[in-house]
Amino acid sequence: MEKGKGLARRWAVELHDASSSSSSFPDPPGFTRSAPEADDAATARQRKDSEVAWKGQKAWEVAQAPFKNLMMMGFMMWMAGSTVHLFSIGIVFSALFQPFNALRSVGKVFEPFKDPRVDTLAPKLLFIALNLAAMGLGVWKLNTLGLLPTNASDWVSSLSPAREVEYSGGGIPLI
């Protein structure tokens, strides 16, 4: 029936059904047509998984980045010495402000790794901890420079003398 119909037309171009025409060719050996199609979802999942892994890895890397910074700061501080001058003050302030800024932008830093399946909490915590450590180093340095009011002397140095209740004037009488 179909043939008869076909005979009736001189020619026909079937543009759309490539598969039907290609399916006329035998599949190469070892090729199962159904396999990739069945695997498609799996590949996507796999790709996603690797991205998640990558994101997780990256997040950890980002989280660990301050550690390097920490080491460098430590070295710089050691170089700066324990006397108050422009260089040491600069270093201490950068050591304090860098972690502070990092902590302020902690959300932004981990923005690219935001994923419901990626657990950024742990890297975030590490990041925060390391930055806090860097800040602590800065504070410690500030203290070694003697710029922290930790001594009693820092609190009494501007204390004016106490009022006296009694007053006694006099001296040698005028001759």
Partner 1 sequence: MAPPPRRLLLALFGFLTAAVLATLVAAVYEDQVGLADWHQKYIGKVKQAVYHSQKSGRRRVVVLTEENVIASLDLRSGDIFWRHVIEKNDPIDQLSLSLGKYVVTLSSGGSILRAWNLPDGQMIWETNIQTSTASKSLLHVLSSNKVAKDNLVLVSTGRSIYAVSSIDGVISWRKDFTLDDLEIKQVIQSPENDIVSVVGVAGSSKLALYQLNAKSGEIVKDAQESLPGGLCGETVLGSHDVLIALDQTRSAIFVIEFKGLSLSYNKVRVSNFVQDLSGTVKLLPLMSNGIIALQSSCTVYLLKLKGMDGLEVIHSFDRPAAVSDALAITEKDEAFAVVQHVGSQIEFIVKVTSDLSNEVIREKVDIDQHRGSVQKVFLNNYVRTDKSHGFRALIVMEDHSILLVQQGAVVWSREDGLASIVDVMASELPVEKEGVSVANVEHNLFEWLKGHMLKLKGTLMLASADELAAIQSLRLRSSEKNKMTRDHNGFRKLLIILTKAGKVMALHTGDGRIIWSNFLPFLRASKSGEISSALRIYQWQVPHHRVMRENPSILVVGRSGGDSVSPGVLSILDSYSGEELNSQRFDHSVAQIIPLILKDSSEQRLHLIVDSNSLAHLYPRSPDALKSFIHERSNLYFYSVDIQENAIRGYSLQKSCDLNLEDEYCFSTKELWSIVFPSDAERIAISETRKLNEVVHTQAKISADQDVMYKYVSKNLVFVATVSPKAAGEIGSAAPEEASLVAYLIDAVTGRILHRVTHHGAQGPVHAVVSENWVVYHYFNLRAHRFEIAVIEIYDQSRADNKDVMKLILGKHNLSAPITSYSRPDVTVKSQSYFFTHSVKAMAVTQTAKGITSKQLLIGTIGDQVLALDKRFLDPRRSLNPTQQEKEEGIIPLTDSLPIIPQSYVTHSLQVEALRGIVAIPAKLESTTLVFTYGVDLFYTRLAPSRTYDSLTDEFSYALLLITIAALVAALVVTWVWSEKKELRDKWR
Task: Give whichever of 34 and 160 is closer to partner 1, judged by the CB atom.
Answer: 160
C-alpha distance from residue 69 to each of 7, 24, 31, 99, 158 (Å): 81, 65, 54, 10, 38
Q: Which stretch binds partner 1 (CB under 8 A): 36-44, 55-63, 117-125, 165-173?
A: 165-173
Can residue 13 be called a binding residue for partner 1 (CB under 8 A)? no
Q: How far is the CB of 144 from partner 1 (least distance, A)?
A: 13
Q: How far is the CB of 156 from partner 1 (least distance, A)?
A: 4
| Residues 33 and 80: beta-carbon distance below 8 Å | no
Task: Write the interaction track for partner 1 spanning residues 131-150; mark x where CB under 8 A is met and - where it is not.
Answer: ---------------x--xx
Q: How far is the CB of 159 from partner 1 (least distance, A)?
A: 6
CB count, 10 Å around CB of 66? Answer: 24
Task: Give whichever of 81 and 107 is closer to partner 1, judged by the CB atom.
Answer: 81
User: Which DSSP letter does residue 118 get?
Assistant: S
Alpha-carbon gap, residue 134 to 95, rounded angstroms: 7
| Residues 53 and 116: beta-carbon distance below 8 Å | no
Residues that bind partner 1 (CB under 8 A): 146, 149-175
